[in-house]
C-alpha cells in the first residue's frame, strides 16, 4: 500500500514487495532489477517480466502480451497505472 502513494516512483522510489512465497525478487536466487519506479517496470525485458509475473502470480497462466504482464506487476507492487 505504501507504493500506491508514491506516484510513478520518480520522486520517491517504490519499496520492494516480496514475491508470493516471501522471497525478495532482487536478492539471490532471483537477482531481478529493483522496481523502484514505473520507468524500471516499463524497461523490463521479456524474460524479467515473466519471472516477476510468476513470482507475484504463481499458478496463473502467463499473459502473452508483455504490456499485460507489466500492468499486473505494477498492481502487485501497489501501483495502479491508468
Residue 82 has pLDDT above 50, yes or no: no
Domain assignments of the chain as residue spans, ordered by start: 3-76
Report the candidate in 51, 43, 47 with the shortest Cα–Cα distance to residue 23.
51
Q: Confidence band (pLDDT; 50, 70, 90) for 78?
A: confident
User: Tell me: the pLDDT tens digits for 23-38?
Assistant: 999 999 999 999 988 8
Task: Transcribe 11-73 into DSSP letters.
Answer: SSPPPP---TTS--TTSTTT-PPP--SHHHHHT--HHHHHHHHHHHSTTSPPPSSHHHHHHHH
The share of the chain scoring above pLDDT 90, in percent, equals 66
Tell me the whole-structure pTM to 2 decimals. Answer: 0.87
Amino acid at each position: 500500500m505504501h507504493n500506491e502513494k508514491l506516484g510513478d516512483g520518480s520522486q520517491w522510489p517504490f519499496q520492494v514487495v516480496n514475491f508470493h512465497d516471501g522471497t525478495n525478487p532482487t536478492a539471490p536466487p532471483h537477482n531481478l532489477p529493483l522496481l523502484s519506479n514505473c520507468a524500471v517496470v516499463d524497461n523490463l525485458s521479456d524474460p524479467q517480466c515473466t519471472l516477476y509475473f510468476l513470482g507475484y502470480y504463481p499458478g496463473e497462466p502467463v499473459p502473452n502480451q508483455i504490456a499485460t504482464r507489466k500492468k499486473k506487476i505494477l498492481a502487485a507492487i501497489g501501483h495502479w497505472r491508468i
